[in-house]
Amino acid sequence: MTSYIPAFLISYTDSSFTNPHEVLRADEPEYRVGTFTHMGARYYGFESKRHKATTTDVAAQRFTFDHDAHDTLVIGFNDPATMSVVTVSTRWFTGNQVPCISVDLFDGQQWTTVLERVTLAPDQDHRFDIDATDAVECKVRCYHEGGISRINFFGELHADQGPRINLLESAHISHVSNDHYGKPRDAVIGIRGVDHMFGWESARTGFGEQAVFTLAEPEAISEIVVDTYLHRLNPPLSCHAFGLTDTNADLASSMAQRPRWSLRFDDGTLVIPEDFQDYMLTEQFLREPVRNTRQFNIVLHQPDNSPWQPLLTFGELFADTYHRFTDIEYTGPVSHILYMHYPNGGIHGLKMFTRKGR
CA distance 25 to 153: 11
Does 41 have pLDDT greater than 90?
no
Q: Are residues 133 and 186 in the same domain?
A: no
Question: Which of 157, 184, 215 is the C-terminal boundary of a domain?
Answer: 157
Residue 347 CA: distances (Å) to CA of 170, 190, 195 = 19, 9, 14
Q: Are residues 24 and 144 in the same domain?
A: yes
In this structure, is residue 325 part of a structural domain?
yes
Q: What pLDDT does residue 357 have?
A: 40
Same-domain status, 142 and 187: no
Phi-psi region of 61 (alpha: psi -120 to 50; beta: other; left: phi over 0): left
**Same-domain check for residues 70 and 124:** yes
Identify whether residues 108 and 58 lie together within a single domain. yes
Tell me the average pLDDT across 160-184. 92
Residue 42, domain member (yes or no): yes
Q: Domain for residue 71, yes or no?
A: yes
What was the pLDDT predicted at 329? Answer: 98
CA pair distance 289, 269, nearest whole angstrom = 9
Q: pLDDT per residue over 224-268, tens digit each?
A: 999 999 999 999 999 999 999 988 889 999 999 999 999 999 999
Same domain, 137 and 189: no
- The domain total for the chain is 2
Average pLDDT over residues 287-297: 96
Q: Is residue 269 domain-resident?
A: no
> Are residues 127 and 85 part of one domain?
yes
Residue 137 pLDDT exceeds 50 = yes
Residue 178 maps to which CATH number?
A: 2.60.120.260
69 touches 50 (CB < 8 A): no
Q: Say whether pLDDT at 358 is over 60.
A: no
Considering the domain architecture, whether residues 88 and 203 belong to the same structural domain is answered as: no
> 141 with 174, same domain?
no
Question: Which residues, at least 6 apart from 23, have a Cβ–Cβ distance to it below 8 Å?
Answer: 9, 45, 46, 73, 148, 149, 150, 151
Asked if residue 124 and residue 171 are part of one domain, the reply reads no
DSSP-based three-state secondary structure for 206: coil
Domain finish residue from 103, 130, 157 = 157
Q: 345, 328, 347, 346: which is closest to 337 by C-alpha?
A: 328
Q: Between residues 29 and 287, which one has the greater pLDDT?
A: 287
At 51 the pLDDT is 96
Question: Can you give the pLDDT at residue 49?
Answer: 93
For residue 162, tell me if it sits in a domain.
no
Q: Do 329 and 196 share a structural domain? A: yes
Confidence at residue 202, expressed as pLDDT on a 0 to 100 scale: 94
Same-domain check for residues 198 and 141 = no
Q: Rounded to an integer, what distance in angstroms lies between the CA atom of residue 274 and that of residue 293? A: 18
143 within a domain of the structure (yes/no) = yes
- Give a yes or no: residue 271 inside a domain: no
Q: Which of 163, 213, 207 is nearest to 183 (CA)?
A: 213
Indicate whether 295 belongs to any domain: no
**Pair 145, 50: CB distance under 8 Å:** yes
**Peptide bond preceding 343 in cis form (omega within 30 of 0):** yes
Range of the domain at 133: 3-157
Per residue in 74-113, pLDDT tens? 999 999 999 999 999 999 999 999 999 999 999 999 999 9
Q: pLDDT by residue (tens digit) across 183-199?
A: 999 999 999 988 888 99
Percent of the chain with pLDDT over 70: 97
Single residue among 157, 176, 193 that ends a domain in this structure:
157
Please state the pTM of the whole predicted model.
Answer: 0.92
Q: What is the mean pLDDT of the chain?
A: 94
